[in-house]
Amino acid sequence: MKNRLSDPLERAKFWLCIALLLGVGGFLAFTGWSHVALTRVLAREGVTTTGKVVDHSSESYSRRSSDLRLTVEFTPTNHPTVTKTLSVDGSTYHPAVKAGEVAIRYLPNQPERCTAGEMAAAPFYIIAAVGGIMLLAGGYLLARFGPAALAADR
């Protein structure tokens, strides 16, 4: 049986697939885990204050999906006033817009690292897991078929 990776087009597809799996998988794993780490640090070391809602926006993508953002202003202890736009969920967005203020949790030594309301970690665990699976798949394909592709390139 002929090795499919001896065809230059098939080799190009193989290397493109590997690059996409490793590149996108690495990006997703890094992004997801960064948000999970921020959530954990904020829960452990964060300080809570009240922020003033200075602007808000809502963009709907479908009936169930929307991007809700609050621009908040708060003054951390021993730091100048911070103004930041944060993505929030509906249970935080609607009361904050109505009241004009929202609970902000920030890191005392880095107040620009903050969140409004509750920051759910579960979606970011899923993003990190999908990225990890893509990295594993790319690694498997590289280990399993990479030597044949490299041999065909010579």
Average pLDDT on 49-61 reads: 88
More confident of the two residues 90 and 128: 128
More confident of the two residues 117 and 105: 105
In tens, the pLDDT along 28-52 reads 999 999 989 988 999 899 999 999 9
Answer whether residue 118 shows pLDDT above 80: no
pLDDT of residue 25: 96
Torsion angles phi and psi, residue 2, rounded to 5: -75, 140
Q: Where along the chain do its domains lie?
A: 4-153
**DSSP per residue, the chain:** ---GGGSHHHHHHHHHHHHHHHHHHHHHHHHHHHHHHHHHHHHHH-EEEEEEEEEEEEEESSSS-EEEEEEEEE--TTS--EEEEEEE-HHHHHHHHHHSEEEEEEETTEEEEEEES----HHHHHHHHHHHHHHHHHHHHHHHHHHHHHHHH-
Answer whether residue 1 shows pLDDT above 70: no
Q: What is the distance between the alpha carbons of residues 131 and 125, in angstroms, rounded to a whole number?
A: 10
pLDDT band at 154 (very low <50, low <70, confident <90, very high): low
- pTM score of the predicted model: 0.72
More confident of the two residues 151 and 135: 135
| Helical axes 122-153 vs 8-45, angle rounded to 10° | 150
> To the nearest whole number, what is the mean pLDDT of the chain?
87
Place of tokens 């509750």: 118
Count of beta carbons in the 10 Å neighbourhood of residue 12 = 11
Answer whether residue 54 shows pLDDT above 50: yes
